[in-house]
Amino acid sequence: MLKVENLRAGYGKVSVLHGLSFEVNRGECVALIGANGSGKTTTLKCICGLLPVEGGTITFHGKPIQNLKGHDIARMGITMCPEGRQVFPEMSVLENLKMGAYARSDAEQNSDFLEMLNMFPILRERSDQQAGRMSGGEQEMPIARIKAKGMTILLVEQNSAMALRLADRAYLYETGEIVLQGTGAELEKNPAIAKAYLGQ
Ligand SMILES: Nc1ncnc2c1ncn2[C@@H]1O[C@H](COP(=O)(O)OP(=O)(O)O)[C@@H](O)[C@H]1O
Ligand SMILES: [Mg+2]
């Protein structure tokens, strides 16, 4: 579904991604793990059209998307969900859901909202409340439920142990390159990863 090949990008003269490649198949949850500053967020920015791609290709359903505009990429069906509690705090819960659905047709939005309200019933009770008043836990989407729905996920998560438990496959970043890949279970057992990321 998503294929990144020889991706190169950076900030001005600073090169961050040095030609990395990975892919995500339909229905998979793929995790990117690695130390702070290794280039995970930079990769996501390139995929979403928020940072220029300097080399390589990104294909989505077989079509090249590198350097398309961010809003066009969003309309093709790629969405970045920020980590943590980054809701629009002054807007209501329902308005926040609508922001996330702006690229969907009215009919699709109605069925999406029903599905979300059924999946997360608390949202129904709180739909008129200011989103910033939700508790910490309520503001974070339980990603396991989204995965169970068959959504294709590229997961970048500070908590490597949780990422590897959830992921079908994972890639380990080191200074802008992928140095290891495997199933979540394989990487969880890998001594180098256990030592560096899982605190074992
Ligand atoms: N806006 C920016 N300007 C310059 N350098 C940046 C910027 N954002 C990130 N970097 C640098 O790019 C590298 C990769 O950062 P990032 O992709 O955020 O890593 P990660 O998400 O894996 O922690 C780091 O060295 C970081 O300092
Ligand atoms: Mg990051």
Q: pLDDT of 162-179, one tens digit each?
A: 889 889 999 999 999 999
| Domain segments of the chain as ranges | 1-81+150-200, 84-140
pLDDT for the residue 17: 98
Is residue 24 within 8 A of residue 78, CB to CB? The reply is: no
Q: How confident is the model at residue 136 (pLDDT cuts 50, 70, 90)?
A: low
Phi (first) and psi of residue 101, to 5 degrees: -110, 15
Measured from the CA of 42, which atom of ligand 1 is nearest? 17
DSSP string, 144-176: HHHHHTT--EEEE-S-HHHHHHH-SEEEEEETT
Which of ligand 1's atoms lies nearest the C-alpha of 45?
17
At residue 143, the pLDDT reads 80
Contact between 31 and 43 under an 8 Å Cβ cutoff? The reply is no
Of 13, 1, 56, nearest in space to 177 by CA: 56
Question: Hey, whose CA ends up nearest to atom 11 of ligand 1?
Answer: 37
CATH classification number, 1-81+150-200, choose in 3.90.25.10, 3.40.50.300, 1.10.287.3510, 3.40.50.1100: 3.40.50.300
Q: How many angstroms is it from 129 CA to the middle of ligand 2? A: 30
Question: Average pLDDT for residues 14-29, to the nearest whole number?
Answer: 96
Going by CA atoms, what residue is nearest to atom 7 of ligand 1?
11
Average pLDDT over the chain, rounded to an integer: 88
In angstroms, the CA 75 to CA 60 distance is 12
